[in-house]
Amino acid sequence: MQLYNTLSGKKEKFKAIKKDEVSIYYCGMTLQESPHLGHMRAALTSDVLHRYLLFKGFKVRLIVNFTDIDDKVIEKAKEESRDFRKITAYYEEEYKKASRRLNILEPYFYPRATQHIKEIIEIIEQLFKKGFAYEVDGYVFFRVRKFNSYGKLSGRKTEELVSGARVAIDEKKENPIDFVIWKAMKHGEPYWFSPWGKGRPGWHIECSAMAIHYLGETIDIHGGGSDLIFPHHENEIAQSEAATGKPFAKFWVHNEMLNIKDEKMSKSLRNFIPINDLVEEFAPNIIRLYLLQAHYKKPLNYNRDMLNQAVSGWEHIKVFLDRTSGLEEKPIVSYIEEFENRMDDDLDTPGAIAIVFNLLHQANVVPEKEKGPYRETISIILKTLGFDITGEESKELSPVVDNILSLRNELRTEGNFKMADRIRDVLKVSGISVEDTEKETLWRIK
Q: Which stretch binds Zn ion (CB under 5 A): 72-80, 204-212, 263-271, 283-291?
A: 204-212
Residue 27 in the binding site for Zn ion (CB under 5 A): yes
Size of the site for Zn ion (CB under 5 A): 2
Find the part of the chain contacting Zn ion (CB under 5 A) among 203-211, 258-266, 370-378, 383-391.
203-211
CB of 385 to Zn ion, least distance (A): 26
Q: Which is nearer to Zn ion, 233 or 408 (CB)?
A: 233
CB of 26 to Zn ion, least distance (A): 9
Residue with smaller CB distance to Zn ion, 235 or 384: 235
The least CB distance from residue 290 to Zn ion, in Å, is 26
Q: How far is the CB of 249 from Zn ion (least distance, A)?
A: 11
- Residue number with CB closer to Zn ion (70 or 388): 70
The four Cα atoms 359, 365, 369, 373 give a dihedral, to 10 degrees, of -10
Is the four-CA dihedral 234, 237, 239, 245 of positive or negative sign? negative
Angle, in degrees to the nearest 10, between helices 284-292 and 304-323: 120
**Using CB under 5 A, which of the segments 37-45, 206-214, 373-381, 390-398 binds Zn ion?**
206-214
Q: How big is the chain by its Cα radius of gyration, in Å?
A: 26
In the complex with Zn ion, the residue whose CB is nearer, 107 or 331, is: 107
Residues 60, 207, 210, 382: which binds Zn ion (CB under 5 A)?
A: 207
Amino acid identity, position 35: P
Binding mask 346-365 for Zn ion (x = CB under 5 A): --------------------
- Residue 160 has, within 13 A of its CA and on its CB side, a CA count of 6
Q: Is the CB of 27 or the CB of 404 nearer to Zn ion?
A: 27
- Minimum CB separation of residue 225 from Zn ion in Å reads 10
- The distance from CA 269 to its chain's CA centroid, rounded to whole angstroms, is 22
Residue whose CB is less far from Zn ion, 207 or 432: 207
- Kindly state the smallest distance separating residue 151's Cβ from Zn ion, in Å: 18
Closest CA to 115 of 27, 201, 218: 201
Residues 123 and 400: their CA atoms lie apart, in Å, by 58
Options 207-215, 264-272, 286-294, 312-320: segment touching Zn ion (CB under 5 A) = 207-215
How many of the other CB atoms lie within 10 Å of CB of 396?
12
- Which positions from 381 through 410 interact with Zn ion, judged by CB under 5 A? none
Quote the least distance from Cβ 233 to Zn ion, whole Å.
Answer: 7
Nearer to Zn ion, 228 or 404 (CB): 228
Q: Which is nearer to Zn ion, 252 or 296 (CB)?
A: 252
- Residue 175 contacts by C-beta under 8 Å, 6 or more apart in sequence? 143, 144, 145, 162
| Residue 130 to residues 196, 216, 247, 435, Cα–Cα distance (Å) | 17, 20, 16, 65
Residues 6 or more apart whose CB falls under 8 angstroms from that of 354 comprise none
Residue 420 Cβ vs Zn ion, minimum distance, rounded to whole Å: 57
Distances (CA, A) of 249 to 187, 211, 219, 245, 301: 37, 10, 5, 12, 30
Point out which residues bind Zn ion (CB under 5 A): 27, 207
